[in-house]
Amino acid sequence: MAVLQSQLDTRSEQFRQNKEEMTVKLEQMDELYAEAARGGGAEALERLAKRNKMPIRERIAWALDPDSPFLEISPLAAWRSHVAIGSGFVVGVGVIEGVECVILGHDPSVRAGAFNHFNSKKLMRGLEIARENRLPYVQFVESAGADLRGGGGGGGGGGTPVDPLLRVEGHFAESGRLFYEITELSKMRIPTISLVFGASTAGGAYQPGMSDYNIFVKNQAMVSLGGPPLVKMATGEDAEPEPLGGADMHTSTSGLGDYLAQNEMDGIRLLREVVGHLNWRKLGPGPSKPADPPIHDPQELLGVVGEDLKKPFDIREVIARVVDGSRFEEFKPRYGPTLVTGWGSIHGYPVGILGNNGALMSESSEKASQFIQLCNQVDVPLLFLHNITGYVVGTDFEQGGITKNGSKMINAVTNSTVPHITVIVGASYGAGNYGMSGRAFGTKFTFIWPTAKIAVMGPEQMAGVMTIIQKASAERRGAEFDEEANAQREAAVMANAEEQSKGLFATSRVSDDGMIDPRDTRDVVGFALSAVANDAVKGTKEFGTWRM
């Protein structure tokens, strides 16, 4: 297989500028990661320590195999909202006793591990990852139930106040789906394990209630449909916590608990023993290619993409620093050159790669459709590298079949059954996001670089389209068009669209699985390929009808 030759000039002014801009973004990202790791803050963590409780990240770290990776999902959720960054939940894929597992943990330092809009989305995403990739599901449970104190948090800033009843109804719907999802995993023979560290009442009680295996920590776990105050109000009974739902009671009397842990570390030991006896076997193929590192330095990825996404770059420069040995067999290199397609491997896992080098034209869309079919015939997963403004528009392009062939590409992406992994390195606008297997298309994992921008269209295009519509409307009414008011409106639209198209905003709203350092792309994608290999890879030769 040919080795990609790099044309990247690491001594150029453009490279230097790109690297400086990326370094600033990475420093901001590291600060936000550190803030998320602090959870509810120093005082909250100190209170946990006084009660002999570990922070959630420490609990997870002790459960993982030594020196093994942990792929955290949406670590920056809830940025610029009423909720602490990270949302009071940690979700990710980690290795326990040699088994890749989805791990979810309530953070008791953030509002006692309560559910909110953001961590409910993370929770459901974790369950989806477990189901779609056939990964055992581990829950570290300690939750006060629904958080009824905060705002909606749907936009930027401090969050929009929401009627408490709406919050309750929203949480009720999400909780109901949680019950369904955990139960469905068990039906699919995907093990579910709960390690209960503290209080888990009302809907939270059903997390262990629906699990295959339950480990309760002595003198800490408290599981009941209603806590003592609710029992008092509902029945008049003055219930005591331990007889009502304590770890001793559930492991000796009710039978809800399967293992009684003497303390948190003992609970983690028991968890590792349970995972160790699952006799878990991956159904997909393992690495089959040489996993030698790229010959081109991944550190140079810092200078490939800059702040200004209008400045083009060759996606091959990214591929050359991600695939094994920088080897890449390009498919149809002379046809549809605005899309690069071809085969390589990452950490030994074969992969078909599609990367944007411009707008999707009719020819590049056709090429993509054929390439996706070929990868499905030989059961090879697909990696999509986004830097796409969308499908090209205009009279000549329509007559050339862009709608027909663009639809053909989306048909191929939709019906493809091999695993898809997406990394958005630059722009991902409009239907181009769909054609390149965006989150809405059942992609197994979606990651973004700090330079990513995701939107219906670019801010300038959005403002310009609105201006054209407003002018046409004024003409139909016979009214004078107010240029000054329109200029102010355009500026406001562009500023808002620019802010909400940024990757940081998107990742904070759980629109992807996390923002990654470009230099980590190879390892992140490699671990994702290993995770999807827990299930059998079965490509399809059957696609929906498309216009020839």
Task: For residue 151, name the pLDDT band (cuts at 50, 70, 90).
Answer: very low
State the pTM of this model.
0.91
Q: Is 480 helix (H, G, I), strand (E, B) or coil?
A: coil
Positive/negative CA dihedral, 145, 33, 497, 305: negative
The single residue listed with the structure tokens 């068990």 is 186
DSSP 387: E
Query: Residue 159's pLDDT band (boundaries 50, 70, 90)?
Result: very low
How does residue 162 score in pLDDT terms, banded at 50, 70 and 90?
A: very low
Average pLDDT for 399-419: 95
Joined together, the tokens standing for residue 156 give: 């930027």
In b/e form, how buried is each residue of 202-223, taking b as 16+ CB within 10 angstroms?
A: bbbbbbbbbbbbbbbbbebbbb
pLDDT for residue 195 is more than 60 = yes
**Contact in structure between 470 and 126 (CB atoms under 8 Å):** no
Neighbours of 481 (CB within 10 A): 13
**Which region holds residue 381: left if phi is over 0, alpha if psi is between -120 and 50, else beta?**
beta
Helix axes of 264-276 and 56-63: crossing angle, nearest 10 degrees: 40
Closest CA relative to residue 303, chosen from 12, 7, 19, 2: 19
In the numeric block, which tokens belong to residue 126?
A: 């974790």
How far is the C-alpha of 469 from the C-alpha of 478, rounded, in Å? Answer: 14
Q: Is the pLDDT of residue 287 over 70?
A: yes
Q: How many CB atoms lie within 10 A of CB 485?
A: 10
Contact at 8 Å (CB) between 300 and 313? no
Instruction: Identify whether the C-beta of residue 264 lies closer than 8 Å to the C-beta of residue 48.
Output: no
Least confidently predicted of 231-245, 252-266, 333-347, 494-508: 494-508
Q: pLDDT band at residue 157, thresholds of 50, 70 and 90?
A: very low
Question: SS3 of 448, please?
Answer: strand
Q: Strand 349-356 vs strand 339-346: parallel, antiparallel, or unpaired?
A: antiparallel
Q: Please, what is the average pLDDT of the chain? A: 90
Q: Which two three-digit tokens encode residue 107?
A: 């953070």
Instruction: Give the model's pLDDT for residue 491.
Output: 77
CA gap 285, 148 in Å, rounded: 46
Amino acid identity for residue 15 in this structure: F
**C-alpha–C-alpha distance, residues 212 and 193, integer Å:** 6
Which alpha helices (DSSP H) does 238-294 contain, by range? 241-245, 247-249, 264-276
Query: Residue 105 has which token pair?
Result: 């943990």
Point out the least confidently predicted range of 80-84, 161-165, 356-360, 508-512. 161-165
**pLDDT tier, 155 (very low <50, low <70, confident <90, very high otherwise):** very low
Instruction: Tell me 305's DSSP state.
Output: S
Nearest to 148 by CA among 187, 194, 117: 117
Q: Which pLDDT does position 464 carry in this prediction?
A: 72
CB count in 10 Å sphere of residue 56:
26
Q: What percent of the chain has pLDDT over 90?
A: 74
CA–CA–CA angle 279, 281, 282 (5° rounding): 160
Reduced to 3 states (helix: H, G, I; strand: E, B; else coil), residue 455 is strand
Q: What is the pLDDT of residue 173?
A: 53
| Residue 234: pLDDT over 50 | yes
Q: Which is more confident, 146 or 433?
A: 433
Helix axes 117-133, 164-187, angle to 10 degrees: 10
Residue in the structure block whose two tokens are 């670089």: 449
Which of 216, 214, 44, 29 lies closest to 114, judged by CA? 44
Report d(CA 184, CA 331) in Å as an integer.
Answer: 40
Residue with tokens 């392009």: 397
For 291, counting Cβ atoms within 10 Å of its Cβ (0-12 exposed, 13-18 middle, 19+ buried), the class is: middle
